[in-house]
Structure 1
């Protein structure tokens, strides 16, 4: 397929483009930042550029992973987020409808599912317990990043309804390489924190890329779907109260060897976990499961 990949110079795009080419696809990268993966340097907010890119390259599929992200909030105005994340998505959808694009994959974020109350208190349904998050919840984004991503999701849904465009929305959990913005509070090494997060809110960039390939392949069959993409959690909904009160004990129930392995490494578990992303719908409907999980981290620790 001839694929337009936005965000091609970014962390995800740089992992995804080579995978797509290895599968025989012709990839046209579009990104404001030049790179070896980017053929067109420019913004998705530039409507004329987007229209030309889709028409002139006879694009058959669009993977839209380009966006302003949460860390950009400190450097950009709300208007910039609307222009890039909302208008940019609209431009791509219009181009898809105008030039017969056959499938569209949109990179969204689990961040839009975290309301201020979940982030600050862990309350859900009036009881103090971790939030068990599925695609069926009604999001209440807490910042401009989440608001614009949710708006873009709704545009994707609209264009499926109006034009029959197959669209798969992937709400990806954390896969960024940067240290957590609360690292100074957590007082853990970056590797320790990222390992812990694989239990409930993280995946590798390689798994994120593979999820997009699965969505690209299944798009026409599924029509319109939204999927949480995160490493498979060992937890169950009935664990949510204990996860807030004493997360290490819950983890030890599922992984009895973890305390000794962590002690040897000098690592610690989070004392409390306030949310769990349930990726079972992606497993059941998309046929996708992340390859890397918390169990793999422990296996590496055993091998050290």
Structure 2
């Protein structure tokens, strides 16, 4: 396929571009920074005109797209004022989704986040492992992701063959960042992430699977490693962090408390990297 990737210069974006190209796709990267060249165009995605123009075609770069992977965003709260985080990210996502609609791109994968489902979990989730049925935003980044999911869920009705898959990524770890797991034995390590993590290369695998299994309609999947990023057993972590919260009877010894059961069962997602 001819696939556009927004946020192609980011940690997850780079891994995604690399994987999709290795699979034989023609990939066009779009980002605010980077060196223009074959396969990459600088685009200000806050500008709808630039976004639509870039998706339709770019001279000497591409002549149209079959699918869009939208990853571009201010990645966390705190880099700019809170309201600016929301305004930027929701505007960029609306522009990307609506431009794709106008350009006739009917297969879209959208980066959502664990922040749309309770992060940093100051309040306990209703059950563990926490799954895609739970939505709760506690900062403006998460609120933006909830809004973006809502926009996507409506846009799929505007053209009957549209497929939009929202992937709720947890903390993405690059191949050179495994040193962070030196703290895995600490009692509150990754508590705000319910112990979860995902290797950037496995995040790219989830994107690839979402594209391959695209079907008309809107779907949401959690994306995390199947096992937690903590040294302690998961049931012990659940009791320590969220005493009294119901825990699945069949919870695996080190199974992630951010459920990946849906994406494993429906898309066949099996992470290829483990910090252990």
Shorter-chain TM-score: which interval? 0.7 to 0.9
Normalising by structure 2, we get a TM-score of 0.79
CA distance in 1, matches of 2:11, 2:119: 26
Aligned residue number for residue 206 of structure 1: 201
- Tell me if structure 1 keeps the 8 A contact 2:115–2:145: no
CA distance in 1, matches of 2:108, 2:176: 31
5+ residue gaps, structure 1: 181-188, 246-252, 256-274, 298-304
Question: What are the Cα deviations for residues 172-223 of structure 1, in whole angstroms up to 9, with x where unaligned?
Answer: 111145999xxxxxxxx62323687599410111100111011111112x63
- Residue 133 of structure 1 is matched in structure 2 by 130
- Which secondary structure does the structure 2 equivalent of 1:163 belong to? coil
Inter-partner Cα distance in structure 1 for 2:50 and 2:136: 33
- In the TM superposition, residue 3 of structure 1 has moved relative to its aligned partner by 1.0
Q: RMSD of the TM alignment (CA)?
A: 3.2
Q: What is the SS of the residue equivalent to 2:129?
A: strand
For the residue of structure 2 that corresponds to 1:104, the secondary structure is strand
Offset from partner CA, 1:235-254 (integer Å, 9 cap, x none):
77797336657xxxxxxx94
Number of equivalences: 251
> What's the CA shift string for 1:126-154, capped at 9, x where partnerless?
xxxx85310011x2211111111111111
Aligned twin of 2:248: none
Q: Which consecutive unaligned segments of at least 5 residues does structure 2 have? A: 58-62, 244-251
Residues 132, 237 of structure 1: 8 Å contact kept:
no
Q: Are 1:99 and 2:103 matched, yes or no? A: yes
**Structure 2 counterpart of 1:64, from 48, 66, 70:** 70
Partner of 1:54: 55
User: Quick one: which of 207, 213, 219 aligns to 1:218?
Assistant: 213
Contact 2:157 2:217 in 1 (8 A): no
Deviates more, 1:234-243 or 1:39-48: 234-243
Which of 162, 165, 168 is matched with 2:165 structurally?
168
Does structure 1 conserve the Cα–Cα contact (< 8 Å) formed by 2:234 and 2:253? no
Distance 1:63 1:124 in 2: 29
Between Structure 1 and Structure 2, whose CA radius of gyration is higher?
A: 1
**What SS does the aligned partner of 1:289 have?**
coil
Q: For residues 13-92 of structure 1, what are the structure 2 equivalents within 5 Å? A: 13-35=13-35, 39-56=40-57, 57-70=63-76, 73-92=77-96
DSSP 3-state at the match of 1:106: strand
Cα distance in structure 2, aligned partners of 1:161 and 1:193: 46
- In structure 2, C-alpha distance between the alignment counterparts of 1:38 and 1:239, rounded to whole Å: 44
Question: Given the two structures, how large is their TM-score scaled by the length of structure 1?
Answer: 0.72
Q: Which residue of 2 aligns with 1:152?
A: 148
Counterpart of 2:221? 227
Task: Name the SS of the counterpart of 1:135 in structure 2.
Answer: coil
1:288 partnered with 2:269: yes
Pick closer, same or farther for the CA change 1:201–1:46 going to 2, 3 Å.
same
Partners of 2:167 and 2:220 within 8 A in 1: yes
CA distance in 2, matches of 1:100, 1:226: 22
Identify the range of structure 1 (223-232 vs 285-294) with the bigger mean alpha-carbon deviation.
Answer: 285-294
CA distance in 1, matches of 2:20, 2:119: 35
